[in-house]
């Protein structure tokens, strides 16, 4: 059974950093593409970063490029999202999502499995 458990959200001041973790079970990271998807109040879900299975190719939305870094630790079966230089507009619920394919997608509907989400609030 595929499960994804996020952790690491919280309240941070503008300019601060957070690292989100997504511990996966029921599959190995090499066989699935993983994505970080966020949803701000009143807005649609947005894939902000994803990493392909096998080759580990990455994608970043323009809104987070240069500030966020996705990585994975196959030994721990965990994917991370390092978020630096956080802005108030980064405030959202952040979800880890997995796709039953090694090919990542920037479409939220392309992910089959979802974590419970973790709240990130950037505010002074």
Q: How far apart are the C-alpha atoms of 37 and 63, rounded to whole Å?
A: 13
Task: Give the bridge partners for 103, in sequence order.
Answer: none
Task: Give the bridge partners for 115, in sequence order.
Answer: none
| pLDDT tens profile 85-118 | 999 999 999 999 999 999 999 999 999 999 999 9
Residue 56: predicted pLDDT: 87
Instruction: Indicate if the pLDDT at residue 24 is higher than 90.
Output: yes
Strands 92-99 and 118-122: antiparallel
Half-sphere exposure in the Cβ direction for 4 (13 Å, CA): 28
Task: Compute the average pLDDT of residues 37-46.
Answer: 96
């Amino acid at each position: 059974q595929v499960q994804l458990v996020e952790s690491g959200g919280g309240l941070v001041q503008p300019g601060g950093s957070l690292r989100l973790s997504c511990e996966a079970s029921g599959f190995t990271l090499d066989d699935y593409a993983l994505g970080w998807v966020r949803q701000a109040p009143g807005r649609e879900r947005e894939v902000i970063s994803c990493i392909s299975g096998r080759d580990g190719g990455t994608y970043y939305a323009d809104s987070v490029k240069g500030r966020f870094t996705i990585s994975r630790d196959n030994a721990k079966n965990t994917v991370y999202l390092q978020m630096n230089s956080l802005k108030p507009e980064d405030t959202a619920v952040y979800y880890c999502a997995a796709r039953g394919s090694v090919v990542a997608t920037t479409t939220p509907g392309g992910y089959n499995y979802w974590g419970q989400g973790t709240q990130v609030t950037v505010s002074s």
